[in-house]
Chains A and B, each alone.
Chain A
Amino acid sequence: MPEQPPYEPERAIAGTGMGGAMDLGASEAAGLEKAPGGPDGTGPRDKARSLWSDAWRDLRRNPVFLASALVILFLVFVSLWPSAIASGSPLSCDLAKAQDGSGPGAPFGYDGQGCNVYTRTVYGARTSVTVGVCATLGVALFGSVLGALAGYFGGVWDSVLSRLTDVFFAIPVVLGGLVLLSVVTSNTVWPVIGFMVLLGWPQLSRIARGSVITAKHHDYVQAARALGASDSRILLRHIAPNAVAPVIVVATIALGTYIALEATLSYLGVGLKPPSVSWGIDISAASPYIRNAPHALLWPSGALAVTVLAFIMLGDAVRDALDPKLR
């Protein structure tokens, strides 16, 4: 049995409270909290480099990683230049063609408003990917900074920040979306992203806090401190590179769930607003017509599922690569 630091109750809390569909996967990475770092006393930068380069070597040979990376690259391409693969405007619709099957220039057919499903699916990628990426970046940045501060400084800081995390964790996500977004009048993506950051940050804050606490106790950090390094230097140069892995893993997986969440919000009538074109809007608009025009539901749902899948698999692959225990 390896030596373990005595379990503090605080630490136990760090692992809990992962409710909500948004923060799923958090606990998957929980195993990682104990993983990085080792007793061999090598320098932190060396350590980091070898961890990352090992991971990269692994990933390059992993077909799952390659496949999902390819899908994501394709998505990014489509988001940037949708007109490259779809002609016409996603906003031009002709009611006379409502619910028609596929026709020339419309391989996926038409939806209930007579809009071209193919064009709308292609143009929808940009919005959905923007929501996913921006929400994830916001959550990761905000959450990990707060989490790292709480984990590193401990004491009162930790108590206050941890209770604050609990407060935001306790609010059911879909409910919060209904309440907050029902008053929004803007038709941009920012309110939706803002809401996701507001209710999503506790998830990453907990992960970051946990892994910073683990890293803090390592010998090389003690050594750096003994050498008189400042707090900010220790945090940025020594702890961050070792604590960032779990954050990246969870963030990649969360990205997919944010895209799916946007669709759910649209279904409840509080998602993005026209003239935004997004998969969520199209899926929720098509869902009542599931019996008559399943194609209008199928394609955007399919695109959404493939995208979410790609990000989750990417996250999975990265986690496997970063976790020495699974090698």
Chain B
Amino acid sequence: MGRYVVRRLLQMIPVFVGATLLIFLMVNVMGDPVAGLCGERACDPATAAQLKKEFGLDKPLWQQYLTYMGNVFTGDFGTAFNGQPVTELMGSAFPVTIRLTIVAVLFEIVIGITLGVLTGLRRGRPVDTGVLLATLVVISVPTFVTGLLLQLLLGIRWGWIRPSVRTGSFDELIVPGLVLASVSLAYVTRLTRTSIAENRRSDYVRTAVAKGLPHRRVVTRHLLRNSLIPVVTFIGTDIGALMGGAIVTERIFNIHGVGYQLYQGILRQNTQTVVGFVTVLVLVFLVANLLVDLLYAVLDPRIRYA
């Protein structure tokens, strides 16, 4: 187990370097970040040159990358164009987004798995067809339409929620979390359903039923535990995607989280902000992947990592 974890951690290094390099190159393709700084007019060349020097943009790209990564390892993520250290932006953005992600994941787990088990056990019945259709509709409508619609109806027409998020406390994040989770939620439902339906005919379930175990115990101890492997995989890796993919949701509900900072960073071609946040997201993604694989062993006793 220990050796396996070490090996996985070592494998993360090239992925981490590759992903950060990739995003670094992508952001630099966007062009000269200084051009947008002077409002509706061109920066005078002297000021532009001075600004480039200040942000290290006058160096060749590879050198910028090396300097940047070097600084990152000392905990210095650079400075945004408004003079604020990127770590400070992270300090205010990540807690909100993490709360939002927790809400979204809770929705996925509670609603998604419940519906999945329900439909998986009642394949082909009206409940199954109804839920199936509902999840399909959720998947096929773009998130921003769902978000705007909920905001209009719940926020203005009926006045049940605040249309925007102010402090970012859990209660304010319920509806945005639901919107963020909606698509994944539908997938979790379908995934659980398929998995349950498949495993229901397996030998060990038949054995358990034949042993005379109560239905509830068969479902929770035997069926669910084995059926959850693909679901756990999905949710685990979804965490990273949720955090980075909240750009649309955070924009609609005015949440000042990671998605907001990334969006602002891209609009202002703020290399340091974008690369910094993505670096952290890549780490989250890698760690989540590792955790999921370790969870395999917990859920499926056949898996032993050496």
Contact = CB atoms under 8 A, between A and B. Distances in A.
Contacts of B141: 260, 301, 304-305
B278 A264 contact: no
Nearest to B241: A19
B70 interface: no
B147 to A, nearest CB: 10
B240 A170 contact: yes
Measured as residues with beta carbon below 8 angstroms from the partner, the interface class of chain A is 35 or more
Contacts of A80: none
A283 B145 contact: yes
B145 A297 contact: yes
B30 A183 contact: yes
Interface residues of B, number: 73
B245 A283 contact: no
A325 B198 contact: yes
Nearest to A287: B148
Interface in B260-306: 262-263, 266, 274, 278, 281-282, 285-286, 288-289, 292-293, 296, 302-306
A258 to B, nearest CB: 12
A43 interface: no
Contacts of B288: 19
Interface of B: 4, 7-8, 11, 14-15, 18-19, 22-23, 26-27, 29-31, 136-137, 139-145, 148-149, 152, 183-184, 187, 190-191, 194-195, 197-198, 201, 203-204, 230-231, 233-234, 236-241, 243-245, 247-248, 262-263, 266, 274, 278, 281-282, 285-286, 288-289, 292-293, 296, 302-306
List 4 tightest A-B contacts by C-beta distance, closest first. A172-B244, A308-B140, A19-B241, A167-B18
20 contacts: A9-B8, A12-B296, A12-B303, A19-B285, A24-B187, A31-B194, A163-B11, A167-B18, A167-B19, A175-B245, A175-B278, A179-B23, A257-B139, A260-B141, A264-B142, A268-B263, A290-B148, A290-B152, A301-B142, A312-B136
Interface of A: 1, 4, 7, 9, 12-13, 15-21, 24-25, 27-28, 30-31, 163-164, 166-176, 178-180, 182-183, 256-257, 260, 263-264, 267-268, 283-284, 287, 290-291, 297, 301, 304-309, 312-313, 325-326
